[in-house]
Structure 1
Amino acid sequence: MKEQFIHYIKNTQERLLKNLSPFKRSLYNNIDWEFPVIAIVGERGIGKTTMMLQRIKDTSQGVYFSCDNIQITAIGIFNVINELYEEHNEKVFYIDEIHKYKNWEQEIKNITDSFPDTQLILSGSSAINIIHSSYDLSRRVLLYKMHVLSLKEFLLFKYDISLPSLSLKEIIENHKEISYQNAMNIKTAHFKEYLNEYCYFFRTKVKEKESFYLLLENIIKKVIYEDVSKQYNLQTKNISALEKILFLLANIAPSEMTYNNIAKKVQLDTKTVDFYITILEEVGLVNVLKKYDTITNNLLKEKKIFLSNTNLMQMFRNQFSESKNTGLFREVFFISAIKRTNHFVSIHSKQDFIINIHEKKYIFEIGGKNKKIRNKAKNTFIVSDDIKISEGDKIPLWLFGCIE
């Protein structure tokens, strides 16, 4: 391998470090950075590369390179690391976009076998390969899921406003006290700003909102036409159906988000739609919830599909529609927040959602400040986006933006 290429890798790293954001995602402090092989997965544009570079800067050690570089692909990860290890005494390697490298699982195994005193930190923008492959490397790889920015992270970065990190259990048990103590830090305009345009970390680097939506559109197209197309060998004519499904999810009422209804609107059979939605869920663009039967206490086959975050909804609406669905915005935000936890959320047969927390079931109805529930069951809460402080069993929606 030419020494010139090693210099290229290190010069690229130095250039990236110079323009590095000082803001750290909350996940940064939760990672066991001493583990031999770490994998950080999540959507494109949420800050995985930045986090890896921040770690290099903080520790003053490690070499970064990305597998979307054609020279890396041509030379091979093993050969690059072998050169850096033998000739430059490097032992910590940050490998970005690992899912783009063919047979990466075997290569990583070979590296850990051949260089047992090295450390590898991997990232994958597409959750498809890396999560599925982690089963083969389950004893070697410590896997972390990175989510989009939380409301808490956004307020800290943009306005230097600090909110507490909360668990869902803490919100349920102490929402009155917590909301009262922090209500002065919550402004409706800030919350709307987050919902519309600040779920993705790269938004912090873009001045104009319109430019952000264009970049987000490009990211979605790359996920669909590059990541998904390559993994599932889908033809372009079939791939376009994925975009149609995403557009529908941004513009139809929650009651219409069934597989049968979507299949009719995109003119495909339900089996194909089921397959496509599974793909979209695996790449982090949608959340799929099953319906819960409160009589039999069983999950039903019926499912509902939601976009994974409110920025996606706003992007599709800006491009194709002027329709507004405040209720859907609320629900997408709530689901996105709950998905940060290990708790299972499903569709309730009468209210909106039911969540199992330590073998105890809690029911949530999402709405405005005037929302009411008649004959309310035990452990039922209304989640409202029009209040700052809890009122009885009514919890402010913004409070769920503190879940981490």
Structure 2
Amino acid sequence: MDYLFEISERLIAHASTDIQRPQLQKLSQGGRMIGLKGARGVGKSTLLLQFAKSFLRDKKKLYISLDDIAFADQRLTDFADTFVKLGGECLLLDEVHSYKGWARELKNIYDRYPGLQVLFTGSSMLQLSDGLPELSRRAVIHDLPALSFREYLLFETGISFELLSLEDILRDHQRLSKEIWQEIRPLQHFEAYLKGGCYPYFFENPETYDIRLRETVIRVIESDLLITTGISPSSMEKIKQLLYIISHSVPFKPNIDKLAERMQIGKNNLKAYFRYLDMAGITRSLFSAKKGISLLTKPEKVYLAHPNLMHSLNPGQVNAGTQRESFFLSQLAPLHTVTEPDKADFRVDDHYLFEIGGKNETPAQIKGESNAYLAVDGIETGFGNRIPLWLFGFLY
């Protein structure tokens, strides 16, 4: 175990705490067992190491990644037992989905060692397994989404802007916009964010970001999805095929019968693949506000999860209108329920209607509708129900 302590101390010591995401404070609010899940690449490991460095200075702690070869033939409960006997107080477990039976053993650790705090990270697809229900009464689970536009600006400029609620934006967007562009010109950064910046590793080497993003997507499908769902290699290839079709047709409006025939798979399997891609953080499906959502519900539209994926998976073919819609959906969906309405582009929380467009967009689609707004690209300040699109990037 000595070498694991050495690696842990080295990683924690080298963790930069210059820029911290809001979710770090959530981890610091306590609890014997805390989980952090999100798509590969969003910064879960960094957040765990920052927590250890900033909030566990005086505690005996150990950070380990469960995809380490050391756990290929070692029970996690036995390891925790040894750690506690050595005086261990906080165990930080990264990549728990890589360890078979992780949920059962975390449950046992929680029950057997009441003095031990456990924090763990895992794939956004954890809820596809039986694990999270088993831990529901023991662990507090937080989601870590991709960087918002507000967080991107923090990384890019060092300026920390206040979080805004949707109600704040709808009620007082003129004043809020002015306060922000008195410090920076958001439109000077907005296009760059749409192309690259949703994942923190963008800032390590922007020139290779597109390549790393494509590699991340492939690894999610070939590793995380394979581990979490137990799909066969042939199914994995079908999911890659489906992603190719989606990425070249976004927003993709699926005809389940024709698509299932084209891909030579069953319709229920096809619907499951859509769900897998959503849970993996690669796509984001939009469902009808009238039909509701179930495991077998057909999505009305399928977007890539954020605009960076559009530029990475189908460069040179990015439609400006779709990019705007993808941005809006990516910023709203982590905190709000977004569905497909009869009119306009999106319905939010079953209450607000939004039409997304460029600065020449007219309100024709939402004329006569109550609680209806235009999210407009290319403007710094709005008026009435015309709101700058970029401002919706300050929700988290």
TM over 0.5: yes
Alignment of 1:225-240 (within 5 A): 225-240=222-237
SS of the aligned residue for 1:139 comes to coil
Say which of 231, 236, 241 aligns to 2:238: 241
Give distance in 2, aligned partners of 1:267 and 1:325: 29
SS in 2 for 1:284: coil
* Cα 1:162/1:91, change in 2 over 3 Å: closer
Taking a change above 3 Å as real, the CA distance of residues 382 and 228 of structure 1, as seen in their structure-2 partners, is: same
> Does the C-alpha gap of structure 1 residues 162 and 114 become closer, same or farther in structure 2, counting only changes over 3 Å?
closer
Aligned counterparts of 1:153 and 1:100: Cα–Cα separation in 2: 29
User: What is aligned with 1:393?
Assistant: 385
Partner Cα separation in structure 2 for residue 285 and residue 338 of structure 1: 16
Could you say if the C-alpha distance between residues 369 and 258 of structure 1 is closer, same or farther in structure 2, counting changes exceeding 3 Å?
A: farther
Between the aligned partners of 2:376 and 2:264, the Cα distance in structure 1 is 36
Matches within 5 A, 1:176-195: 176-184=174-182, 185-195=184-194
1:331 to 321, 325, 330: 325
Cα distance in 2 between the residues matched to 1:273 and 1:257? 10
Q: 1:56 aligns with which of 44, 52, 55?
A: 52
Aligned: 1:37 with 2:33: yes
- SS of the aligned residue for 1:194 comes to helix
Q: Matches of 1:402 and 1:263 in 2, distance apart?
A: 39
Paired positions, count: 385
In the other structure, the counterpart of 1:373 is: 363
Secondary structure of the equivalent of 2:163? Answer: coil
Distance 2:157 2:87 in 1: 43
From 142, 145, 148, the counterpart of 1:144? 142
In the alignment, does 2:159 pair up with 1:164? no
Indicate if the aligned counterparts of 2:97 and 2:227 stay in contact, CA closer than 8 A: no
Seen in structure 2, the aligned counterparts of structure 1 residues 345 and 221 have a Cα distance that, compared at 3 Å, is same
In structure 1, the residue matched to 2:285 is 288
**How large is the Cα RMSD of the aligned pairs?**
2.1
Where 1:166 maps in the other structure, the secondary structure is coil
Q: Distance in 2 between matches of 1:132 and 1:363?
A: 36
The aligned residue for residue 251 of structure 1 is: 248
User: Using a 3 Å threshold, how does the CA distance of structure 1 residues 256 and 70 change in structure 2: closer, same or farther?
Assistant: same
Instruction: Give, in whole Å, the separation in 2 of the partners of 1:262 and 1:273.
Output: 8
Mapped to 2, the partners of 1:261 and 1:151 lie a distance apart of: 37
Q: Please give the per-residue CA displacement for 1:134-183, whole angstroms capped at 9, x wherever unaligned.
A: 21111100010110111111101111233220111211111122112213
2:16 aligns with one of 11, 15, 21: 21
CA contact (8 A) 1:347 1:353 kept: yes
Q: State the identity %.
A: 28
Query: Residues 266 and 168 (structure 1 numbering): CA distance in 2 closer, same or farther, change over 3 Å?
Result: farther
Q: Against the structure 1 CA distance between its residues 24 and 212, is the aligned structure 2 distance closer, same or farther, given a 3 Å change threshold?
A: same
Counterpart code for 1:66: S
Per-residue CA distance 1:262-317 (angstroms, 9 max, x = gap): 54664545333211011111222221221234xxxx54855221111111111102
Distance in 2 separating the partners of 1:112 and 1:324: 48
Instruction: Provide the C-alpha distance between the structure 1 equivalents of 2:262 and 2:151, rounded to a whole number of angstroms.
Output: 37
Q: Give the distance between the partners of 2:252 and 2:68, measured in 1 at CA.
A: 45
Q: Which moved more, 1:219-228 or 1:125-134?
A: 125-134
